Amino acid sequence: MARLLVTGGAGFIGSNFVHHVIENTDHHVTVLDKLTYAGNRASLAGLPEDRLTFVHGDIGDAALVDGLFAEADAVVHYAAESHNDNSLHDPRPFLDTNIIGTYTLLEAARRHGTRLHHISTDEVYGDLELDDPARFTETTPYNPSSPYSSTKAGSDLLVRAWVRSFGVQATISNCSNNYGPYQHVEKFIPRQITNVIRGIRPKLYGAGHNVRDWIHADDHSSAVLTILERGEIGETYLIGADGEKDNTSVVELILTLMGQPADAYDHVTDRAGHDLRYAIDSTRLRTELGWRPRFGDFESGLADTIEWYRTNETWWAPAKDATEAFYASKGQ
């Protein structure tokens, strides 16, 4: 797999994967990215030019995709519309990218016999009750609750169908919530960190009881590379790092790590359709493929992330003011 094609490789988790691959392998990486607001060429800055090729384009462009698949040994499919709130406002881009875009890639993989790994989310499973001891596994039934998670669930099912019906060489991973470098400031953790840096009080949705299972983006990247190299074709692997935290605890830990009073935040209007709890059981990935996370605890990964945002304000500052203005208009 000396030649990798990464769709959405200028986005948050995609760019982290590109950095991880270039730093830990000898592969050449071609990035295909549409550069919507969530994609940023600056997230790939500093990588060696002889190891990285950037292509500005849409995964729905069948002719472009076909040519790139013809030159790739393997494809990792990160490209997606991924913001729940945006999907409630306008679902159409989520259908175009997550469903039609994935179909376009699958057809190219079918024509060329290219190995494909499809990146998905734990949100396809719906949510869990706060007091439920269960966690999501590879056999948990799908129960998506938003246009975003519904289109991701649909894309997962397309991958499974193309494996079974046409013999496409594909695997799937569903991951818990990522955090780390290069994440857009609209997202929960970077929004709170950059608020503190700017002297703005962090914002907590609703009562703050909602629970997410957090994983550092570099750990997600190492898991994806492991699945790409050793995963069984046609199988699904759940990626998680045992990082369950309620939103109140996350905000208070950010404030504490940044030298602020733990209660220096404000409650704001809850998100529409806000899922209660996500939790990943990654036993299969760990036992069958031998993967382990580098950040063994959430606090160390969060401290690493805070330091990145402190030292990379030129990366996130251009989007900060518009993001806060948008949330202010919604009372959030």
d(CA 97, CA 221) in angstroms, rounded, equals 22
d(CA 98, CA 112) in angstroms, rounded, equals 21
- DSSP E strands in 1-56: the ranges are 3-7, 28-33, 52-56
User: What would the two tokens of residue 265 be?
Assistant: 């935040």
d(CA 234, CA 117) in angstroms, rounded, equals 10
User: What would the two tokens of residue 133 be?
Assistant: 């001891």
Residue in this structure with the two tokens 């629970």, named with its chain if needed: 211
Residue in this structure with the two tokens 């060696």, named with its chain if needed: 48
SS3 230: helix
- The yes-or-no answer on residue 66 being catalytic is no
Choose, from 33, 58, 81, 123, the residue flagged as catalytic. 123
Comparing CA positions, the residue from 215, 226, 239, 232 lying closest to residue 294 is 215
Comparing CA positions, the residue from 103, 147, 150 lying closest to residue 125 is 150
Q: How many CA atoms lie within 13 A of 279 on its CB side?
A: 16
Long-range own/partner contacts, residues 108-113 (CB < 8 A, 24 or more apart): 108/62, 108/65, 108/66, 108/68, 108/69, 109/69, 109/75, 109/162, 109/168, 109/169, 109/170, 110/162, 110/166, 110/167, 110/168, 111/66, 111/69, 112/66, 112/69, 112/70, 113/169
Choose, from 148, 182, 265, 309, the residue flagged as catalytic. 148
- The yes-or-no answer on residue 123 being catalytic is yes
- The yes-or-no answer on residue 122 being catalytic is yes
List, in sequence order, every residue forming a beta bridge with 29; answer none if it has no partner: 4, 52
Choose, from 33, 81, 122, 127, the residue flagged as catalytic. 122
As annotated, the active-site residues are 122-123, 148
